[in-house]
Chains A and B, each alone.
Chain A
């Protein structure tokens, strides 16, 4: 850290292009293009940033628009704007309230999604909390998964300890009024976990110990070792105790 304090700050207020390098604080208020790797203590983007290279920063806050062509490594990432990462994202804490697209895998501890996230690779974390829209094309592996459905979300597969997918209590006026993203639903091929609670979920196979299949679910096969409870408004093709 001390060494980092000796570094210079990088401030971009107008339009500028830089080669990257090591900095202390980086703040982008205008439009910037970085052609190379960037290593810094903190990164704040309020304007537009386009990067060709890897970004490594203690914390990264993106309020504007940001395109990274390279991996992002940070201990804290917050996206309130629009971000595209053409690479892996590694951050113990990730919070997305805007829209984030990751064309790689995501590794973290705590992931909070209030907006929209689209991930092409696998996701690995201890807790995933979603109150928005999520699309994962790979495997979601998390300790606890809590998803409150607003629109249609999906993941290829889910594995974990506690998996809780339910519709939001009352459909909030905003998402409904803009009518985007379709009706609240979750689509996946496979869910495996110890404690599973589902609503409005369409899945091929659900496996676990204690399973609750709530309203609006459509599941082909359920395998359970503990208890299974199925709501009368749910469709379950077959269930089997193992």
Chain B
């Protein structure tokens, strides 16, 4: 899978931001290091960005800049987990997850009195995917399994969630962001989502 790339020059043209702003945001960790992709071109080395992600991110930064300081923004975008603890009741009240997801978690035997951010994140992802109709309840149980067993390995690192199906049999994967992978013909990639976007949404909801 090759992402659409955009060169630095095109990006600045398109968004109207200056070199200074771009570099400042990079310094403040608003734009992750791994999005700066160095490639050789006819003028020598040039920097490219994953088009979809960077445009979305810059749009967000420009729109949220007024309400939040750059440091607060950096916090929203950082993949690290802060210290939050919430009960199932609070999660319901704040409209972060629905009862269905909590029930699924209960069935999986992973119910807890208080949920840390990592687990809230898992519930949030589960809830979003269930509600959007992307996954079934049975797949939800698989998601709970893969996320509670392995998500901690990606602490502070960007990761992606992948759902594949072969002959209707689903399988979830957590992978390092940007990894390439290939399957045999029978496999369909149903879903591929960077975890970072979920985390950003969640942090905004929590904040």
Q: Which residues does A use to contact B, with CB under 8 Å?
A: 124-126, 141-143, 159-162, 189-190, 192-194, 204-205, 207-209, 221, 242
When the two chains form their complex, are residues A159 and B44 in contact, meaning their CB atoms are under 8 A apart? no
Query: Interface size class for chain B?
Result: 10 to 19
A124, B31: Cα distance in complex, Å: 14
Q: Which 6 A-B pairs have the closest CB atoms?
A: A161-B20, A194-B20, A159-B23, A192-B19, A194-B18, A141-B23
A-B contact pairs, 5 of them (CB 8 A): A159-B19, A159-B22, A160-B23, A193-B23, A194-B19
Q: Given the known inter-chain contacts A194-B18, A209-B18, please indicate yes or no for A161 contacting B45, CB distance below 8 A.
A: no
For A143, give the chain B residue with the smallest CB separation.
B24
The reply on B27 being an interface residue by CB < 8 A is yes
A24 to chain B, nearest CB (A): 28
- B19 partner residues in chain A, CB cutoff 8 A: 159-161, 192-194, 207-209
Q: Give chain B interface residues in 14-59, CB to chain A under 8 Å.
A: 18-20, 22-24, 26-27, 43-45
What 11 additional pairs, Cβ within 8 angstroms, besides A160-B20, A190-B45, A205-B44? Answer: A141-B27, A142-B27, A159-B26, A160-B19, A160-B23, A161-B18, A161-B20, A162-B20, A189-B45, A207-B9, A207-B19
Q: How many A-B residue pairs have CB under 8 A?
A: 46
Q: Are the CB atoms of B44 and A189 closer together than 8 Å?
A: yes
- On chain B, the residues within 8 Å of A159 by CB distance are 19, 22-23, 26
Q: Which residues of B contact A193 (CB under 8 A)?
A: 19-20, 23
Whether B24 and A161, one on each chain, are in contact in the complex, defined by CB atoms closer than 8 angstroms, is: yes
A204 touches B27 (CB 8 A): no
Q: Find chain B residues with CB under 8 A from A190 CB.
A: 45
Taking chain B's interface residues, is the majority helix, strand, or loop, or is none over half, making it mixed? helix
Is the contact region of chain A dominated by helix, strand, or loop, or is it mixed? strand
Q: How distant is the Cα of A162 from the Cα of B20 in the complex, in angstroms?
A: 8
- Contacting pair A192 B44 (CB below 8 A): no
Query: A160–B22 Cα gap in the complex (Å)?
Result: 8
Complex CA distance for A242 and B27, rounded to whole angstroms: 25
Residues of B within 8 A of A143 (CB): 20, 24, 27
Q: Inside 8 A of A221's CB, which chain B residues have their CB?
A: 43
Residues of A within 8 A of B24 (CB): 143, 161
Contact of A161 among B13, B23, B43, B44 (CB under 8 A): B23
Among A143, A159, A194, A209, max chain B CB count under 10 A is at A159
Most chain A CB atoms below 10 A, which of B13, B23, B43, B44: B23
Distance from B74 Cβ to chain A, minimum over Cβ atoms (Å)? 13
Chain B residues closer than 8 Å to A142, beta-carbon distance: 23, 27
Q: Which residues of A contact B45 (CB under 8 A)?
A: 189-190
Chain B contacts for A208, CB-based, 8 A: 19
Contacts A192-B19, A207-B19, A208-B19 hold; do A124 and B43 have CB atoms under 8 A apart? no
Q: Counting chain A CB atoms within 10 Å of each CB, which of B9, B19, B43 scores highest?
A: B19
User: Closest Cβ of chain A: how far from B34's Cβ, in Å?
Assistant: 13
Q: For the complex formed, measure the closest distance between the CB of B13 and the CB atoms of chain A, giving whole angstroms.
A: 8
Question: Which chain A residue lies CB-closest to B20?
Answer: A161
**B44 & A204 in contact (Cβ 8 Å cutoff):** yes
- What 0/1 readout, one digit per residue, does chain B (1-21) give for beta carbons within 8 Å of chain A? 000000001000100001110
- Nearest-CB distance from B69 to chain A (Å)? 15
Q: In the complex, what's the smallest C-beta–C-beta distance from B202 to chain A, in angstroms?
A: 27
Do the beta carbons of B23 and A192 come within 8 Å of each other?
A: yes
Least CB separation from A156: chain B residue: B45
Min distance, Cβ B128 to any Cβ of chain A, angstroms: 34
B138 CB to closest chain A CB, in angstroms? 46
> Nearest Cβ in chain B — how far from A146, in angstroms?
15
Residue of B9, B13, B20, B44 ringed by the most chain A CB atoms within 10 A: B20
**Separation of A93 and B46 alpha carbons in the complex (Å):** 31
A contact residues around B22 at 8 Å (CB) = 159
Closest to B13 in A: A242
A126 to B27, CA, bound (A): 8
Kindly identify which residue among B9, B13, B20, B27 contacts A124, using a CB–CB cutoff of 8 Å.
Answer: B27
For residue B44, which residue of chain A has the nearest CB? Answer: A204
Of chain B, the residue at the smallest CB distance from A124 is B27
Shortest Cβ gap from B12 to chain A (Å): 9
